[in-house]
Amino acid sequence: MPVIVGIYAGGSPLSLKIGLKVDSTTHPVALCTSSGTVGHSLSFGKADAVCVMSDSCALADAVATAVGNRVRSARDISSAIHFGKCIPGVSGLVVIIGKDMGLWGSLEVIPLRGKKC
């Protein structure tokens, strides 16, 4: 059965406004998100959220961090996505910084409705 995963992007106006519809009934799917503005982890970037889809959780986590480290402003979205999509095993990317977002890959992005938690 497909599930919908919301993307929390801290203070971004896109935070919890979009989600990814994921269907893992035909093959494994891993989603990992990294942020330069949310949480306590050290990041060299300023992305509010970088979400990576792969069939490997470890790969998705590593790529989310690596792509996020390349995003310091909205101007970096395109080059960061280009970097991430060239890594074998990555099937989708979402990069959010402020009001700007970039997407690549086999992602089904849907709007989220309802109250924030």
Selection from 83, 54, 53 nearest residue 71 by Cα: 83
- Record the pTM: 0.92
Q: What is the DSSP letter of 47?
A: -
> Tokens 């093959």 belong to which residue?
27
Q: Which domain holds residue 65?
A: 29-105
Q: Which residues pair with 31 in a beta bridge?
A: 53
The pLDDT of residue 115 is above 60: no
Binning pLDDT at 50, 70 and 90, where does residue 99 land? very high
- 60 lies in some domain: yes
Exposed/middle/buried for 105, CB within 10 Å: 0-12, 13-18, 19+? middle
> Which pLDDT value is given to residue 43?
85
Q: d(Cα 31, Cα 61) in Å, to the nearest integer? A: 8
- The total of structural domains in the chain comes to 1
- 66 lies in some domain: yes
- 21 lies in some domain: no
> Which pLDDT value is given to residue 112?
94
- 117 lies in some domain: no
Q: What is the pLDDT of residues 52-90, one digit of tens each?
A: 999 999 999 999 999 999 999 999 999 999 999 999 999
> Which pLDDT value is given to residue 116?
55
> Which pLDDT value is given to residue 114?
65
Distances from the Cα of 16 to the Cαs of 51, 62, 84, 89, in angstroms?
Answer: 13, 23, 23, 26
- 46 lies in some domain: yes
Q: What is the pLDDT of residues 27-38, one digit of tens each?
A: 889 999 999 999
